[in-house]
Amino acid sequence: MSNLKAVRGTRDLLPPETALWNRIEATARRVFARYNFGEIRTPIFEDTALFSRSVGEETDIVSKEMYTFEDRARAQSEKTVSLTLRPENTAGVVRAYIEHKLGETGQLQKVYYIGPQFRRERPQKGRYRQFSQIGAEVIGPPPAGSESPIRDAEVLEMLATLLDELGISGWTLEINSVGSAADRARYNEVLRTALVSVAPGMCPDCQRRAVTNPLRVLDCKVPEDQPIIETLPKIVDSLDEASKAHFAAVLAALDAAQVPYTRNYRLVRGLDYYTRTTFEFTHGGLGAQNALLGGGRYDGLSEAIGGPKAPGIGFAMGEDRLVLTLQALEAAAQQKVDAYIAPLGENLNPAALALARELRRAGLSIDLGDGSFRLKKSFESADKTARRMVILGEDELQSGILTVKTFATGLQSKVNRAELATYLSTPASE
């Protein structure tokens, strides 16, 4: 057998798993089209300077994770240049926006991308050296309104919709504001001062960051450092009035659209270009690498790489992590019984047992509740152990029409008793 293998941190994706990747990509394209995003494809390698000026010299990505190589001159007319495999796609999109003068259209540019990114990280489950991102960016010249908080809220609402349509339940949206570049610089100084007395008791990384980039201390995962970090000043107290108002408007729009979120004062993100809104969607099923996606606003990025003023906001989802989450949810669903029968009142227990017997004899796996339980308790037990719940009350018993709740979709249907066994044996996602 050949000893040539896929390089550490890279993987082959084989059928049937590739079908799941294709389904995720098709769903993303469909949802993006509904929000009027068009596809952009930028090159996989770029000038190294693009990433050091945008993502930032001091970040982990630029300082230690990039695949950078010299592209040697092949003729006297050519120069040797330093190239880098893209570690992320936002910098490339903003470079393209500048290069093609897209700002001169006066319109908001709404683009999405799907493709491989490269970072030399320590590989583990959910973390690879070649991974795929599905991302989107909204950029435009100031008259087009790209700075407006409604853009932030719309992007977040789109993400909530996309995750729901992918069938990813149980996500959490964590949100914060890191303010303007001036707010951040002010906060960095406040942190630097606060860290002078406490940093010597922290991990070696934090001791270094306390001097080079105090904001990064907030990302520390070392358990012993957490109580110290909790006592540090919060960035929200360093925001100017305009940034505070912007953030309040984003949250108000999310409330109106009923997109649930949690405020996380420590969410500063690992890339330097962020201003104002930053966010991550996490999922408990992912383990240590629990970020499904991350993003935020980058109002100064275009200018930082030599372009015109062009505020923007966007995100990137880790496609590998979407796949892992869907596989875990699918495995959990397969371990559940077909249905849980919830009798409404103790007097209905005998009828519920008869119904359970009927369905079990038809080959279905059934958990039987107890009529003495409150409906809420029955719902909770059923959600843990079954794909569906059948409610059996006096009315249902008389009419022979039962109420069935499907947990994966949240749908409640009326089903004739004669058709119940067939209904319960169809997959719960349909």
Two tokens, residue 357: 């017997």
Min separation Cβ 413 and ligand HAM, Å: 35
According to DSSP, the residues that pair with 246 across neighbouring strands are: none
Our CB check for ligand HAM shows the closer of 293 and 392 to be 293
Min separation Cβ 166 and ligand HAM, Å: 14
Angle among Cα 213, 121, 270 to the nearest 5 degrees reads 30
Min separation Cβ 223 and ligand HAM, Å: 22
Min separation Cβ 316 and ligand HAM, Å: 4
Q: Which residue has the tokens 């929000």?
A: 35
Two tokens, residue 261: 């979120």
Gap between the Cα atoms of 265 and 403, Å rounded: 43
Specify the 3-state DSSP secondary structure of 100: coil
Min separation Cβ 281 and ligand HAM, Å: 8
Q: Give the nearest residue (CB) to ligand HAM.
A: 318
Our CB check for ligand HAM shows the closer of 311 and 369 to be 311
Min separation Cβ 252 and ligand HAM, Å: 22
Candidates 98, 68, 134; CA nearest to 320 is 134
Our CB check for ligand HAM shows the closer of 133 and 146 to be 133
Binding site for ligand HAM (CB under 6 A): 88, 90, 119, 121, 126-128, 131, 133, 135, 137, 270-271, 291-296, 314-316, 318, 320-321
Our CB check for ligand HAM shows the closer of 47 and 383 to be 47
Our CB check for ligand HAM shows the closer of 62 and 293 to be 293
Gap between the Cα atoms of 174 and 92, Å rounded: 26
What is the identity of the amino acid at 302? S
Candidates 268, 276, 269; CA nearest to 300 is 276
Side-chain half-sphere exposure of 230, counting CA atoms within 13 A: 6
Two tokens, residue 134: 């599905």
Our CB check for ligand HAM shows the closer of 254 and 271 to be 271
Our CB check for ligand HAM shows the closer of 23 and 127 to be 127
The answer to whether 198 and 228 have CB atoms below 8 angstroms apart is yes
Min separation Cβ 123 and ligand HAM, Å: 8
For 5-49, the DSSP string reads -PPTT-----TTHHHHHHHHHHHHHHHHHHTT-EE----SEEEHH
Min separation Cβ 42 and ligand HAM, Å: 12
Our CB check for ligand HAM shows the closer of 318 and 369 to be 318
DSSP class of residue 53? Answer: I
